[in-house]
Amino acid sequence: MIQEQIPMLKGLMTKSLAFLFLFFALINPLNALEITGIEKEKDGEITLSFCNTFEIKNIALNQSSLAQAVVLPKDEEIYENLALLNALIAGKIASCFGVCELKTKCKNVPYTLDSIRKIKDKDLFVAKVVFDRDISAIFLVSTYKKKDKILYRVKTPQDFKFLNNKYRKDFRTWLIKEIKNKYEMF
């Protein structure tokens, strides 16, 4: 008897959560971080674009329990370099596995530096950046010398991609400047 009711309870929970997420999305003020594109992948995961500025691939929905949870991809299946920071964005993403409300207009997506740390004995920095208080991403910044000049490489998380070239360049310049300021380099 109970075994027969579990699928029905999961379906009811899914519909209830989708309704609540959509309801809160309507009554909440407009965020800068909005979903502007969705691409369904063959394996049941999705790729989402946020404000036509960046995208995250391989987003999954864990349906193994009564409560659904959005699962962001891990780099090399180990490192959690992407994280959701609040329930509102998690709800928006979860709804995209059913009925997804796409926005056509967005404000510019602000970013802030959460932390920077230098890896000992290496010219490598780990920077955690927060996008509109909704999603955090960890970037690796390395330095190297070429003809007596210090150059920088910025590595994004594996399934994170900038879509807007100007935004990417501005972000890269800002991140390098933040590292230079913190570690008083040149």
Could you read off the pLDDT of 46-58 as tens digits, one per residue?
999 999 999 999 9
Q: What is the pTM of this model?
A: 0.78
**DSSP bridge partners of 128:** 115, 138
Q: What residues does each domain of the chain span? A: 2-95, 111-183
Q: Using DSSP, state whether 154 is helix, strand or coil.
A: strand
- CB contact at 8 A, 149 and 183: no
CA atoms of 169 and 135, how far apart (whole Å): 19
DSSP conformational letter for 75:
B
Could you read off the pLDDT of 66-124 as tens digits, one per residue?
667 899 988 888 889 999 999 999 999 999 998 888 998 888 899 999 999 998 878 89
Inter-axis angle of helices 2-27 and 87-95, to 10 degrees?
110
Label residue 6 by pLDDT band (50, 70, 90): low
Could you read off the pLDDT of 51-82 as tens digits, one per residue?
999 999 999 998 776 667 899 988 888 889 99
